[in-house]
Structure 1
């Protein structure tokens, strides 16, 4: 018996896209922090300025207080934008319907539909505008104080790519042969 569509698959897509976007952009934050700032940890530390306004922006080394908290906030913000992305997708998507099996082989799992990538990059541009222009400095990401403009562009570009990649990973999981993924049985 198939599972009805509901909040669980939507939440899973939000978390998967958010995690991929946070991972890709977070890795680039570290890389660009090594180039532009005192260390790779500085941009992640700066994100925790939401909790420690002055001290977080000055921290260069790895620490649980600043780096770990900054990474968690970054992941949460990525999931927030992922939820907006999925909400937009749901609003424009036709209702699901049963389709007869296709005679065409499925697309390669690594392929990201171009409209998904374009939409994810558009959302990352909106996120950059909101984060860097619209919100007051107290609610900004903080890493913009350690990175050059070029690095910021790269980070937000990576964020959009991560959103699209997270969606492609989710689609790949649904294309696996039946015996390779966990089955859910309702009783």
Structure 2
């Protein structure tokens, strides 16, 4: 298991990749399903602004900015946790990495939707279909796996 310093260093890479991948999927799916690339990110800001954020379609600092920053911080946090718990597995065979990352991503989704209080859920689930949510979490898992593999090769 990585120490916290290693997990923080490598988690920033994995988390940044996860943030970029998931923001991209959120924007693409939001545009396709809701006619607004900003809507899913706006919904993330429901943590601060309540129900109004779940209905907002336009780009704004208040909703989109707050949602983006919150989403990125969340992705970075999950990147660090992932690297702490599973980062050493980046050196193992790809099949194990994929299996372990799929399990970790399922656990992250369970925390996001079943463990935290409603006010702390991602919010974008109010704007996207279930297949799109699966796409968001698949992008998250793929980015975490790529990040940990990249970190393992760099060492």
Shorter-chain TM-score: which interval? Answer: 0.7 to 0.9
TM, length-normalised to structure 2: 0.86
Cα distance, 1:87–1:173 mapped onto 2, change above 3 Å: closer
Cα distance, 1:124–1:7 mapped onto 2, change above 3 Å: closer
Q: Give the superposed CA RMSD.
A: 2.3
Correspondence 1:46 to 2:43: yes
Tell me, in whole angstroms, the C-alpha distance in 2 between the residues paired with 1:22 and 1:117: 19
TM, length-normalised to structure 1: 0.73
Gaps of 5+ in 2: none
8 Å CA contact retained: 2:4, 2:84: no
Tell me, in whole angstroms, the C-alpha distance in 2 between the residues paired with 1:155 and 1:35: 14
Gaps of 5+ in 1: 95-106, 175-187
Instruction: Choose which of 138, 151, 154 in structure 2 pairs with 1:170.
Output: 151
Higher share of residues assigned helix: 2
CA shift digits 1:7-48 (9 cap, x unpaired) = 543311011111111111110011111122240110011101
**Counterpart in the other structure of 2:23:** 26
CA shift digits 1:49-71 (9 cap, x unpaired) = 11111221111111122112211
Instruction: Choose which of 74, 86, 89 in structure 2 pairs with 1:89.
Output: 86
**Counterpart in the other structure of 1:143:** 124
Q: How many residues align?
A: 152
Q: Secondary structure at the match of 1:51?
A: helix
Q: Secondary structure at the match of 1:147?
A: coil
**Counterpart in the other structure of 1:118:** 99
